[in-house]
Chains A and B, each alone.
Chain A
Amino acid sequence: MRTYITNIFDWLDKRYNIKVVIRFLAEKKVPIYKHTIWYYMGGITLLFFIIQVITGILLLLYYRPTAEGAFESVQFIMTQVHYGWLIRSIHSWSANLMVLFVFIHMFSVLLLKSYRSPRELTWVTGVLLMYISLAFGFTGYLLPWNELSFFATKVGTDIAGVIPFVGEFIVRFLRGGEDVTGATLTRLFGFHVAVLPGAVLIILAIHLLMVQRQGMSKPVGLKEVKREMLFFPDFFLRDFLGWLFAIGILAILAAVFPWELGQKADPFSPAPEGIKPEWYFLFMFQTLKFFPAKILIFDGELVATFIFAVVGIFWILVPFLDFKSKKEMKSPIFSIIGIFAILYVGIITLLSYFVFK
């Protein structure tokens, strides 16, 4: 047995020189200090992403992306297919947990300033991954073709319409026509299962390669780390323990609170009360509402989308704008920006659940 494996290994090594990689990984170290825990967050995000891929492929065996058949096929999955309720429930819960952990991961690297030189591009790819995660959520929401998701998609795509010049085109592009119809469903389905996964795989591969190549960052001012652990197996095993824990939580959530299906969407019925986007869009949705209808001569919504765009671009450029941490100095401005962003997103999201309704 042993010899077989070494034989195969040698065979591969002769061709691809993989010993270098192994040696590199064997020497990789992770610093140990009070914030080490945040190094696990990217890994947990990765776990949820893998779960999404597996359960997503499984759902594809029975799902039908048409206005006539989508709702029924999901219903079928949940009632007729063995463990269909579980697979769908896991896909939905894990999607939400993934977005949650993308946020946790992102804000932790923001506050630890891990994005600073030389890891700028890790951050840039990371922000792109976050945007894609949100796009996953948006496109996936419509797929069961139920009342809530239908109208939320209608409202959501409507917002793009306020952008000057290209707004109308974007709305048409997203909807595949003037209105949210079966064409929209087929199109968003295409994004959800082909376009976005393709994009994620490429960007995620770059993201992970860069992380492996550069190793873990150390926070500003922590030049000399007293303790370190080997990436393999020490950190890897701990990562795994975290994964087990996450899988347990996911199993409990999916089994005890099975994801609901609701009523089939009826395009001709009036919008029901309480249509809301998914929770991770709420803070943007709510922000839009804060804007008055007119600001000076500009449309309020237009100003809001403009501000979103500016913030979105600023977010990508953070590593290049934070000059202080570049020079390994503390940069309180970006800590404040980070904390403000966390508080804003957190509070507005909670408020829109409990106060604004």
Chain B
Amino acid sequence: MKSINRHFNNIYIPFLIIFLFSSTALYSQEKRNNCIECHSEFEEEETSPSIEFKNDIHNSSGVLCSDCHGGDPEIDASEDQELAMDPKKGYKKPPKHNEVPEFCARCHSDFEYMKKFNPNIRVDQYENYLTSQHGKLLATGDNKVANCVSCHKAHGVKRKTDPASTVFVAQIPETCSICHSDAEYMKGYAIPTDQLEKYKESIHGEYLLEEGDLSAPACNDCHGNHGAAPPGIESVHNVCGVCHPGNSQLFLNSTHKKYFEEFDFPECTTCHNNHLIQKLTKESLGIGEQSVCGICHAEGEVGSADAVEIKNSIENFSALRDNCQILSEEAERKGMHVAEIKYQLNNVDTELLKARSMVHSFSLENVKQITGEGTKLALDVREMANDALKEYQIRRVGLVISLFFIFIAGTALYLKIKDIDRRRTK
């Protein structure tokens, strides 16, 4: 019994010591941040620093108030406030609007310091910022432009991967719009304030905000974030080409590249718009009222014939495809099995997509080649669908024939029964 007790003590006592030590250590660490203790006594709003900071990425990485603001958090301010926020202890007043970028850059541009937190972390934000429109204007003394905290917040900074962050992809449009959609605020800058509205209508906005496809571009994907600036005319195809390499390449190799340059047309956005990028309709091709080709190619002028031909070729193909779909749906409604038809229809859709993409080569020949192949495929699909419908007819006829046989047999049976009955009554 005694030996067991001794054993127990041998294990128990070291544990106790470790436990006591670690808990006092924890306790003292908690205790050390007197700034928060004191500030939260008079700061009540959700957005006040001492409250917001609790969920701040700096806080959870162990960065203290004093690491940015100076002062001494170990001094209990209820005893000596002066001493806790003594400039001699490094205490600084909060930075002014134009001082913020430098203020953050003290750490964020210091790789030696930042790599402790993440060995792959970027430290070029400040540099980028200086090249941005925001940064340039700030340098001229314009204090209305955005600095770091305008987008990231000052004390509620969150990782960009945190969906609650103001700089989470799907939040970015709203964040930028705080300033950029405020007509009053933006007065004096010669830029529109309807970008968010238009973006929301656009295919990109639809995917990002409604479908939740986080790979769809937000403002920063085209404009940059820290280096935000409108893309120059000749870099548009590069910007769009990041995600649409095929179309961008076709455009670059096309005849249009040269002419667009000549006329100072902003490449892709000439036809597609910038913030209001929408799915084009069939009216967008050709030279009709709503067509984008018609912007330059009036009827009878160079290229107008090709524009009309391209439109027709795609439209005919697309109509054939729709026809296939209608037939396939009809067959499906009638209970036929259309899995194979649907698979082939998918391939037709791929061809249609390719043909529409090929428009960016502005070559009637190229477009026709694809619509030609697609049409061949679609005709096969149509035949399959028609076969299915024919098969349905055959089933109907088969049913009617066998019902007729049953009717003959039934009638004969009925007559037989009557006949037997008649004999019985006799």
Contact (A79, B337) CB under 8 Å given A238-B417, A252-B403: yes
Q: Looking at the complex, which one of B337, B406, B410 makes contact with A85 (CB distance below 8 Å)? A: B337
Q: Give the chain A neighbours of B424 by CB distance below 8 A.
A: 234
Decide: A234 and B420 in contact? CB cutoff 8 A: yes
Q: Give the chain B neighbours of A240 by CB distance below 8 A.
A: 413
Decide: A237 and B413 in contact? CB cutoff 8 A: yes
Q: Looking at the complex, which one of B335, B337, B410 makes contact with A241 (CB distance below 8 Å)? A: B410
Decide: B416 and A244 in contact? CB cutoff 8 A: no
Assembly CA distance A79 to B420 (angstroms): 47
Contact (A234, B402) CB under 8 Å given A85-B337, A245-B410: no
Q: Give the chain B neighbours of A257 by CB distance below 8 A.
A: 335
Q: Is A258 an interface residue (CB 8 A)?
A: yes
Contact (A237, B406) CB under 8 Å given A252-B399, A258-B335: no
Name, among A86, A234, A255, the residue most crowded by chain B CB atoms within 10 Å (CB to CB): A255
Which residue of A has the minimal Cβ distance to B335? Answer: A258
Assembly CA distance A240 to B402 (angstroms): 17
Q: Give the chain B neighbours of A233 by CB distance below 8 A.
A: 420
Number of A residues contacting the other chain (C-beta, 8 Å)?
A: 22
Decide: B395 and A255 in contact? CB cutoff 8 A: yes
Q: Give the chain B neighbours of A78 by CB distance below 8 A.
A: 337
Q: Give the chain B neighbours of A247 by CB distance below 8 A.
A: 406
Contact (A234, B399) CB under 8 Å given A244-B406, A247-B406: no
Contact flags B385-426 to A (C-beta < 8 A → 1, else 0): 000000000011011001100110110011011001100100
Which residues of A are at the interface with B, using a C-beta cutoff of 8 A? 75, 78-79, 85-86, 233-234, 237-238, 240-241, 244-245, 247-248, 251-252, 255-258, 260
Closest chain-A Cβ to B338's Cβ sits at a distance in Å of 9
Decide: A79 and B340 in contact? CB cutoff 8 A: yes
Q: Is B191 an interface residue (CB 8 A)?
A: no
Name, among A238, A244, A251, A256, the residue most crowded by chain B CB atoms within 10 Å (CB to CB): A244
Decide: A241 and B417 in contact? CB cutoff 8 A: yes
Task: Give me 5 A-to-B residue pairs in the complex whose CB atoms sit less than 8 angstroms apart, sorted by A's number.
Answer: A79-B339, A234-B424, A240-B413, A248-B403, A256-B399
Contact (A237, B335) CB under 8 Å given A79-B340, A251-B402: no
Decide: B406 and A255 in contact? CB cutoff 8 A: no
Which residue of B has the minimal Cβ distance to A254? Answer: B399
Q: Looking at the complex, which one of B335, B399, B414 makes contact with A251 (CB distance below 8 Å)? A: B399
Contact flags B12-39 to A (C-beta < 8 A → 1, else 0): 0000000000000000000000000000
Decide: B399 and A244 in contact? CB cutoff 8 A: no
Assembly CA distance A86 to B406 (angstroms): 17
Assembly CA distance A233 to B417 (angstroms): 9
Q: Give the chain A neighbours of B416 by CB distance below 8 A.
A: 237
Name, among B337, B396, B402, B407, the residue most crowded by chain A CB atoms within 10 Å (CB to CB): B337
Which residue of A has the minimal Cβ distance to B416? Answer: A237
Q: Give the chain A neighbours of B339 by CB distance below 8 A.
A: 75, 79
Assembly CA distance A258 to B409 (angstroms): 25
Assembly CA distance A238 to B398 (angstroms): 26
Q: Give the chain B neighbours of A251 by CB distance below 8 A.
A: 399, 402-403, 406
Q: Give the chain B neighbours of A241 by CB distance below 8 A.
A: 410, 413-414, 417
Closest chain-B Cβ to A220's Cβ sits at a distance in Å of 28
Q: Which of B351-407 contact A (CB under 8 A)?
A: 395-396, 398-399, 402-403, 406-407
Assembly CA distance A240 to B335 (angstroms): 31
Closest chain-A Cβ to B118's Cβ sits at a distance in Å of 34
Considering the complex of A and B, which 8 residue pairs feature the smallest CB-CB distances, nearest first?
A258-B335, A255-B399, A79-B337, A248-B406, A244-B410, A241-B413, A237-B417, A244-B406
Assembly CA distance A268 to B175 (angstroms): 37
Assembly CA distance A234 to B399 (angstroms): 30
Closest chain-B Cβ to A330's Cβ sits at a distance in Å of 32
Contact (A234, B410) CB under 8 Å given A78-B337, A248-B403, A252-B399: no
Decide: A244 and B413 in contact? CB cutoff 8 A: yes
Assembly CA distance A251 to B402 (angstroms): 9
Q: Give the chain B neighbours of A79 by CB distance below 8 A.
A: 337, 339-340
Assembly CA distance A75 to B414 (angstroms): 41
Assembly CA distance A237 to B335 (angstroms): 36
Which residue of A has the minimal Cβ distance to B403? Answer: A248
Which residue of A has the minimal Cβ distance to B410? Answer: A244
